[in-house]
Amino acid sequence: MVKRKPSNPNTLIDQFLNFLLVEKGLSKKTLEAYSRDIIRYRNFLAEHQTAVFSDEDTPLILKYLIHLRKSGLAARSRARHLVAIRGLYRFLVQEKILRNDPARLIDLPRTSLKLPDVLSREEIEVLIQAPDTDKPLGARDAAMLELLYAAGLRVSELTNLKLQDINLEAGFVRVFGKGAKERIVPIGMQAKEKIEYYLKTVRSKRLKQQSSPYLFIARANRPMTRQGFWKLLRRYALQAGLNKKITPHSLRHSFASHLLEGGADLRAVQIMLGHVDISTTQIYTHVTRDHLKQLHRKFHPRG
């Protein structure tokens, strides 16, 4: 008869600390620090109705790191917490308690752990609703803000989008990111509707029988500059009463954080962001475009 592995988190934590003491020979002071950090993480899991450690804890680990930042913990201290958490999950895999390590994709930065500032869902809502869509420029700006958040785009990716890069029927946008690497990202119904409205009511009138390959056009039918969009975003942030520093990257970070907090798979989010630290080819063999679209629709607040 095979002896069942213990699943009680307190028992597993005790075994991990004993492993650090006996096998790793850590000092009493270091063990106490590990113990405090792991117990704080365990309490966080308990607050989120999670009684055991799981292979699928990646979103919770990221949410916990965001929680630590919001609690005022310094970057160095947050990095220390992550080291303890990674050690715990590595131990659980080694002991065959878990099959996969949910912390393995969360890398420590070379200097310190710096998590980006994000907007709340309520702040995103008031920001996106700020443009007056009854006015031509307002309809364009609303579509740009919605798409920036819906697809987690960089500002340069947004302003350089071509008309041929958007597929409203399929609900995707094709993006050429850093190093001209291509990725396909779902956009959701909210962005689709605002882009359709902009195309039907604004873009053709502004072109005045001229042509432009760009989706969003500004003066002289040219694409908006990055600086121009920054000014536009700041104006709408003030108009919405958001008295904080908001940049285009704030919406990109919010996109990723809101998806992860909702339970989306980390690999899928990395694909949609176009991060280069994960092999694009390897990821696309595991996650299809249809699966990405389903994830976006399920987890994105405006999907």
Q: Look over the chain and give the mean of its residue pLDDT values, rounded to a whole number.
A: 83
What's the pLDDT tens digit per position in 68-117?
Answer: 888 888 877 888 899 899 999 999 999 999 998 988 877 654 444 444 56
What's the pLDDT tens digit per position in 256-302?
Answer: 878 877 777 767 777 888 765 433 223 322 333 555 677 778 778 88
- The count of domains in the chain is 2
What's the pLDDT tens digit per position in 254-268?
Answer: 888 788 777 777 677
154 flagged as catalytic: yes
In a domain? residue 108 = no
Q: How many angstroms separate the CA atoms of 155 and 144, rounded?
A: 10
What is the mean predicted confidence (pLDDT) over 233-248?
Answer: 90
284 flagged as catalytic: yes
Q: How many angstroms separate the CA atoms of 162 and 212, rounded?
A: 9
Residues 177, 241 within the same domain: yes
Q: Is the pLDDT of residue 183 over 60?
A: yes
235 flagged as catalytic: no
**Catalytic one of 69, 154, 192, 258:** 154
Residues 136, 81 within the same domain: no
Residues 139, 18 within the same domain: no
In a domain? residue 101 = no
- Residue where one domain finishes, among candidates 44, 75, 94: 94
Q: How many angstroms separate the CA atoms of 184 and 298, rounded?
A: 17
Residues 290, 158 within the same domain: yes
249 flagged as catalytic: yes
Q: How many angstroms separate the CA atoms of 90 and 101, rounded?
A: 6
Residues 257, 152 within the same domain: yes
Residues 229, 265 within the same domain: yes
Question: For position 34, which CATH number holds?
Answer: 1.10.150.130
In a domain? residue 250 = yes
Residues 285, 185 within the same domain: yes
In a domain? residue 2 = no
Residues 184, 295 within the same domain: yes
Distances (CA, A) of 145 to 35, 47, 128, 227, 232: 44, 34, 6, 15, 10
Which pLDDT belongs to residue 205? 87
275 flagged as catalytic: yes
48 flagged as catalytic: no
The owner of tokens 């990095």 is 79
Which of 18-22, 115-119, 123-127, 275-279 shows the lowest per-residue confidence on average (mean pLDDT)? 275-279
Q: How many angstroms separate the CA atoms of 35 and 85, rounded?
A: 10
Question: For position 171, which CATH number holds?
Answer: 1.10.443.10
Query: In terms of residue numbers, what domain contains 28?
Result: 9-94
